[in-house]
Amino acid sequence: MKGFVDFIRKGNLIQLAVAFIMGVAFAAVINSFVTNMVSPLLGLIGGVDFTKEGTCISGTCTVTVDSTTGAVSGGDGVFLAWGAFLTALITFVTIALVIYFVVLKPYEKLEARLAKDKDADVSPTEIELLTQIRDSLQNQGGTSKTGADLSRPS
């Protein structure tokens, strides 16, 4: 039982769980954005619904779309619902474009700006300053003695 408790208490597991939950919540936001904002705009341009498109291979096909799941069935026949696949593919590409241009590109610009500001704020450490002073003294014809030797006059 101790091993299980140690496993649960590890930070990686908790971080993974939080990341998963945040990913699911973020996916819901992106899906809502695409469904409610981007898709209507694309509908104005194209206005074509491929969902019920397909090919009946055998039997008598009566195409129905389940209103809750969006699944397409062909009734008694064998129906290849290539239209539903094409719609899912278009949705995937649209979501990928939204994530790239609305989330990833602005995030990369922000990270680059923060990194540039962070690099500009970095001042030399005490050791770097002392090294610069030592090198400057040596270049001016000063002595290259170390430690206690420098405290005594030459």
Average pLDDT for 128-153: 72
Question: Is the pLDDT score of 131 beyond 70?
Answer: yes
Average pLDDT for 121-129: 80
% of the chain residues with pLDDT over 90: 14
- Condensed to tens digits (0 to 9), the pLDDT of residues 16-55 reads 888 899 999 998 988 888 888 887 777 777 666 677 788 8
Please report the pLDDT score of residue 24 as a whole number.
Answer: 93
3-state DSSP: the chain helix, strand, coil percent, rounded to 5?
A: 65, 10, 25
* Closest by CA position to 63, among listed 49, 47, 44, 77: 77
* SS3 label, residue 62: strand
Please report the pLDDT score of residue 20 as a whole number.
Answer: 92
Sign of the alpha-carbon dihedral angle for 55, 61, 65, 69: negative
74 in Cβ contact with 62 (< 8 Å): yes
* Entry pTM: 0.54
Q: Locate the domains of the chain by residue range.
A: 1-43, 48-126
Half-sphere exposure of 97 (CA within 13 A, CB side): 9
Question: Is the pLDDT score of 152 beyond 60?
Answer: no
Question: Is the pLDDT score of 120 beyond 90?
Answer: no
Euclidean distance between CA atoms 64 and 76, whole angstroms: 11
Residue 101 — very low, low, confident or very high, per pLDDT cuts 50/70/90?
A: very high
